[in-house]
Chains A and B, each alone.
Chain A
Amino acid sequence: MSDTELDKVLTQRHEANQTIVNVEEATIKLVVFELAQQGFAFHSESIREVLGHATVFFVPGCPASLEGVINVRGDIESVILLNNLLHLPTSASNPQAPILLGRGKEVSSGIRVDHVIDVIDVVESSIQPPPSTQAEYMQGLVSGLLHFQDRPITLLDLDQIFADYARGLG
């Protein structure tokens, strides 16, 4: 039995369906925040929690960029400020400002930020590599650049930030 016109059309449609390629791009989740009126982000998997209110206990003998420690459900974590490390002006002291609980491969710490802008999903291709012209002190700390809400966002490498901080930078 010869194929009818309709059989041919259906066959063509069936073959076309089989050749459809999934072009959906991989996305990553970022925690976007502001520090000294500039936008930054961390990969969300490196941010365990965002704390809205936490009592920070002062520890003497520490640099000004180490605000103190917090008690997070039975764990004690340091709270650091990144302004010095990122060569940003000092933010106005605000004990109500959020603290990101960052967890790197080996080190964890709280990071005080001015405020959290959003937690977003972005396609990987929208993240540009860091420019070769960036300041020397930022090299290694920046893993990419993107735009969100018409403003530039600098994607930071949490492990490198903790490593640099531990060796006395910032």
Chain B
Amino acid sequence: MTALQDDDSTQNTLEVVLFQAGGCLSAIAASQVGAMSSDNNVCDAIPIAEVFGMEQVTTELAQKKLELKSVRAEAGSDSIDVLITPPVDLLNLAVTDIYPLPPLLAARQRLRWLRALAMHREQENISLLLLFDVLDTGSEEESQLSDLA
């Protein structure tokens, strides 16, 4: 990931795009989102839950199109259009709130591109945030991006 940044408070943060996928609070680094549009022509886009390998839990029509891109130089400029259901938010996530996947979960989970977890605090509530990374080091994952595109 390349979107780690220092803000004025010297706290490292990762800017992420926040959305719901498969009924779960999910996020992608903002640097991996090329564009977002409310384009009605969404036929060429894939529901993001499907991209991640989740079960879809919504059939809402109001959807936005998000262009996901790989930022890995040697991977070229692969990108895919995905559908997400609003609300969509931009969030600066403190690095200290981001955790690698626990080893047993990493070994057994089957979601595509799930790379980390975060605890998202909103007022009194704490919820789990699934952090996906379109940037993958494995050639298999890169070919998956090409296959989806």
- Please give the residue numbers on chain A whose beta carbons come within 8 Å of chain B beta carbons, in ascending order: 55, 57-63, 66, 68-69, 71, 75-78, 80, 106-109, 162, 165-168
Contacts and interface: CB of A to CB of B under 8 A. Distances in A.
A75 to B, nearest CB: 7
Given A69-B102, A75-B99, A77-B102, A60 B108 contact: no
Contact of A166 (B52, B55, B107): B107
A78 to B, nearest CB: 4
Contacts of B99: 75-76
Interface centre among A55, A60, A69 (most CB of B within 10 A): A60
Closest 7 CB pairs of A and B: A61-B111, A57-B128, A78-B102, A166-B107, A76-B99, A78-B105, A61-B110
B73 to A, nearest CB: 29
Contacts of A166: 103-104, 107-108
Interface in B91-117: 99, 102-105, 107-111, 114, 117
Interface of B: 22-24, 52-55, 99, 102-105, 107-111, 114, 117, 119, 126-128, 130
Contact of A66 (B24, B52, B104, B114): B104
A58 B24 CA distance: 9
Interface centre among B22, B107, B111 (most CB of A within 10 A): B107
Contacts of B104: 66, 78, 80, 107, 109, 162, 165-166
Contacts of B54: 60-61
A63 to B, nearest CB: 6
A106 to B, nearest CB: 8
B108 to A, nearest CB: 6
